């Protein structure tokens, strides 16, 4: 005996082709660079000098940037590793900083900085290597220009502070002078009042004396 089974192919093929909703939501990544403009952006490899081992140690390969803050005008050097975006270097470029070519390698240069890449301030000696001589020169030129501009900014701040101090002193001197003058006027008025009172008293005494015969 043969049993025939009828299968509804439509029901078998009725598959929900709608993709499942994504469980991951897009998250805005904040880098801390939103209020800054990049004035330099170059691929490079960074090293730091290990004083204990007396040798150079690689910090990472990635992009080095010089970022200028839109409001304060301060410039900081930031470098992140290409894949992990881990910070290799993070410090301000100050007026006192200098950069120089690494002896024997015109694609590399050196500088000292108080760096904050490891979440604590450390005095570091950095060496950075570029793919070309041109990029290295561009980095050094921009670095020096920034340091010089920061020097001018600091001088302007010092001049403004000095001018503000002088203005404050002038105001204080004027206020002190005004107080002295005001005190002198009051003293003069008191003296005149006493003299007038004395004159009145003397006059009253004379009026009360009997006339001589």
Q: What is the pLDDT of residue 190?
A: 77
The stretches of the chain forming alpha helices (DSSP H) are 9-13, 133-208
Q: How do residues 152-189 score in pLDDT, each as one tens digit?
A: 776 555 544 555 666 666 667 767 777 777 777 777 77
Question: What's the mean pLDDT in 118-145?
Answer: 96
Closest CA to 94 of 74, 78, 72, 79: 74
Question: What's the mean pLDDT in 69-74?
Answer: 94
Closest CA to 143 of 44, 86, 81, 67: 67
Q: Angle at CA 128, nearest 5°, toward 125 and 130? A: 170
User: Is 36-155 CATH 2.40.10.350?
Assistant: no
Both tokens of 12, joined, read 């078998």
Residue 157: which residues within 8 A CB-CB, separation 6 or more?
none
CB 87 within 8 A of CB 117: yes
Identify the bridge partners of residue 114 per DSSP, sorted by sequence position: 123
Question: What's the mean pLDDT in 91-120?
Answer: 95
How many percent of the chain have pLDDT more than 90? 51
Three-class SS of residue 81? strand
């Amino acid at each position: 005996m043969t049993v025939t089974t009828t299968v509804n192919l439509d029901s078998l093929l009725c598959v929900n082709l709608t993709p499942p909703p994504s469980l991951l939501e897009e998250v805005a990544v904040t880098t801390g660079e939103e209020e800054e403009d990049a004035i330099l952006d170059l691929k490079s490899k960074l090293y730091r000098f290990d004083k204990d081992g007396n040798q150079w140690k690689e910090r990472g390969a990635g992009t080095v940037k010089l970022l200028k803050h839109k409001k304060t005008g301060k410039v900081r050097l930031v470098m992140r590793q290409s894949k992990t975006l881990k910070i290799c270097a993070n410090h301000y470029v100050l007026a006192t900083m200098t950069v120089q070519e690494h002896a024997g390698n015109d694609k590399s240069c050196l500088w000292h900085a108080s760096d904050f890449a490891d979440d604590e301030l450390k005095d570091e000696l950095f060496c950075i290597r570029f793919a070309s001589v041109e990029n290295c020169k561009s980095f050094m030129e921009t670095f020096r220009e920034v340091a010089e501009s920061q020097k001018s900014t600091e001088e302007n701040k010092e001049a403004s502070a000095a001018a503000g101090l002088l203005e404050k002193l002038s105001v204080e001197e004027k206020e002190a002078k005004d107080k002295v003058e005001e005190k002198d006027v009051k003293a003069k008025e008191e003296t005149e009042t006493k003299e007038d009172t004395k004159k009145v008293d003397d006059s009253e005494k004379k009026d009360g004396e009997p006339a001589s015969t």
